[in-house]
Amino acid sequence: MNLYFPPFIYSFFLFTGTMITVSSSSLFGAWMGLEINLMSFIPMMINSENNKKSTESAIKYFLIQAIASGIVIFSALYFYFFNSSTLSQVPNMLITLALSMKLGMAPFHFWFPEVLEGLNWINSLILLTWQKISPLVILSLFFYSKILITLALTSALLGAISGINQTSMRKILAFSSISHLGWIGGMMYFNSSLWLDYFMVYSFTSFILCFSFWMLDLNYFSQLTMLKNLNAKFIIFINLLSLGGLPPLLGFLPKWMAMMVIKTSFPILMILILSSLITLYFYTRLCFSTFTLYIQSMTWFKKENSSMKNFFLLSILTFFSIIGIMPMSLLYL
């Protein structure tokens, strides 16, 4: 007899696993929270509408996370047995590499766009935001600084460059996430707790974009060019530029905070700013193509009847992206 567990059961354990990790006073407890979180997210990934692709993503995600979790618990044992020896830095190095693999930081990023490609937009949003909380919290406590800054700079550059030739919206968001992890890693390297504020603003911007793509049923760039609603195009245009960190928009606030933290090291700051400029370049190119490319044969087609309630909600969220930086910036004056 097959028992059916409603999705809220998985959501509950997903939330519980993260809370256990964040509130744990030992590395073993943090590892246990990671495992609960992993085991609750795997069933959520499998989508009956697109079973083949989502199952493949779930298997890839499980294998990568299981390997990384094994390295984390091995490092915890290493801490226990060799804490007073001269090799006490080895577990820090192993944990930094393992958590970087869990997060999808370069050069361990190859699984991340492929897994994201097989998920629906709700699961994509969870993977882009909530699933990063536990590894980031552990990483902020146990990191080896030289490895962390190397991975951060590599992630920032590779995430920006790899996103240039992508046409899938999920892969664009995946490579953008890898690039943002570079900024977060850079802030951690300077022992700043402001990485949490950066992550919160990034999560809010990702939520707006995933919600927009879900409501407008967009998966690829070609679908974006065929949208006849200019207001919908404008919403996506503004939120993509906000995610890239264009100065007047909300997405610039966390990067501004990061610049204030990292300004003591000019070379690191220049590499991160260069990666952000590359990201903005392909977002801008994408958005201009969206407004200029239009299939003339569709000009006389019947206009789409999109839900006014959903469109109003997207407009409100985009309004926060445009003016949100002004009240939030007052908190840091």
Highest-confidence range of 46-55, 221-230, 292-301, by mean pLDDT? Answer: 221-230
Residue with tokens 């370069």: 106
Mean pLDDT across 81-90: 66
Residue 53: band (very low, low, confident or very high) from pLDDT cuts 50, 70, 90 = confident
* Ranges 15-29, 131-145, 169-183, 298-312: which has the least confidence: 298-312
104: left (phi over 0), alpha (psi -120 to 50) or beta: left
The structural domains of the chain, with segments of one domain joined by +, span 7-332
pLDDT of residue 2: 44
- Residue 238: is its pLDDT beyond 70? yes
CA separation, residue 248 to residues 202, 203, 253, 329 (Å): 15, 18, 9, 11
Mean pLDDT across 97-123: 92
User: What is the residue-averaged pLDDT of the chain?
Assistant: 84
Question: What's the burial of 269, exposed, middle or buried (CB within 10 Å: 0-12/13-18/19+)?
Answer: middle
Buried b (16+ CB within 10 A) or exposed e, 139-148: bbebbbeebb
Residue 50: band (very low, low, confident or very high) from pLDDT cuts 50, 70, 90 = low
Per-residue pLDDT tens digits for 319-329: 777 776 555 55
pLDDT of residue 264: 86
pLDDT of residue 49: 63
- Residue 1: is its pLDDT beyond 90? no
CA separation, residue 125 to residues 12, 205, 222 (Å): 17, 11, 22
Whole-number Å distance between alpha carbons of 187 and 223? 37
CA separation, residue 266 to residues 20, 260, 262, 314 (Å): 38, 11, 8, 38
Mean pLDDT across 244-251: 86
Residue 157: band (very low, low, confident or very high) from pLDDT cuts 50, 70, 90 = very high
- Residue 302: is its pLDDT beyond 60? no
The structure tokens listed for 291 are: 């407004």
Share of the chain above pLDDT 70, in %: 86
Residue 87: band (very low, low, confident or very high) from pLDDT cuts 50, 70, 90 = low
Mean pLDDT across 42-47: 85
pLDDT of residue 297: 47
DSSP secondary structure string for all residues of 17-71:
HHHHHHH-SSHHHHHHHHHHHHHHHHHHH--GGGHHHHHHHHHHHHHHHHHHHHH
